[in-house]
Structure 1
């Protein structure tokens, strides 16, 4: 039964950490922006800057919302994390989280947003522990050593490169 007045704990994004490089050299003082768009039609934005090693962190984002109790609501969150360097946007993470609880597969990827701007953006899939029959997918310039299957490369506008 739907409870329209009940407020639910909703997980919008896991804690984020990573490192930004330019051909192996740290990108210092770069502003990293996270934008979260939840089904409640509110956009949440936070930023941080890289340190002397190019490293950055952001805390997890959780809210209280009655949206999951609404009839026909699709409680999902658009997660967008990226930065500009020399007027060019670099996507670190672009995907949808289709649940209101933390997802271990997302937690793992978001704790390792290590990127070098020499790498092209890719659309990739990774295992979804919560739904083993359905993989998750995202776009990023980051690279991971495991659980990272590239489907195609993307141009600066996010279009598939053939």
Structure 2
């Protein structure tokens, strides 16, 4: 290849790289965005209304990868997890439909219980989800149900969660029958 040919090839490659960076900056491709995985979680575990101390409680959050943490209930059966946000390039990808998935479970006497399973729409905090996760009251004798509750940001699209927990906070919630 002649030096003129190499110059032309390198010029085209250089122009492509510069234009790619400009379009990435202009259109947000490759940009990292804050993704809300979960609000702060505060809850309690009881059995027939009595606190369950020492229960293993775990939280798995999925988005661009799996985020796992665990804790144990205190002597009053209470537990908690911090708010979790991550920065990710996925929201800037064209046609990306990756969803956040929240799972909170407990292991008591070798048996697993589903305290919370939800896939919120979008990557931003949802008020009704935050209210629920800051006030989880989970009795191990309560049957797991799919529960619908108001989506305060998008009223036409209610939230659905699977849980043994129940709330008495004035927000509309419907239990779905099997």
Q: TM-score, normalised by structure 1?
A: 0.89
Q: Which runs of 5+ in 1 are unaligned?
A: 153-159
Structure 1 residue 131, shift from structure 2 partner:
0.5
Equivalent of residue 69 in structure 1, options 81, 86, 92: 92
Aligned-pair RMSD on alpha carbons? 1.2
The answer to whether residue 37 in structure 2 is matched with residue 12 in structure 1 is yes
Q: Which structure would you say has the larger Rg?
A: 2
Q: Greater share of helix residues, 1 or 2?
A: 2
Q: Distance in 2 between matches of 1:133 and 1:33?
A: 31
Which of the two has greater strand per residue?
1
For residue 70 of structure 2, give the secondary structure of its aligned residue in structure 1.
strand
Per-residue CA distance 1:110-138 (angstroms, 9 max, x = gap): 01111111111010100001111111000
Specify the SS of the correspondent of 1:118.
Answer: coil
The two structures have a TM-score, normalised by structure 2, of: 0.81
Q: Deviations over 1:40-62 (max 9, x none)?
A: 2x100011111110011110100
Structure 2: any 5+ residue segments left out of the alignment? 1-25
Identify which of 78, 87, 111 aligns with 1:55: 78
Distance 1:97 1:76 in 2: 7
Separation in 1 of the partners of 2:153 and 2:59? Answer: 24
* Structure 1 residue runs of 4 or more that deviate by more than 3 Å after TM superposition: none
Q: How many equivalent pairs are there?
A: 151
Asked whether 1:83 is paired with 2:112, we answer: no
Q: Would the aligned equivalents of 2:56 and 2:108 in 1 still touch at CA under 8 Å?
A: no
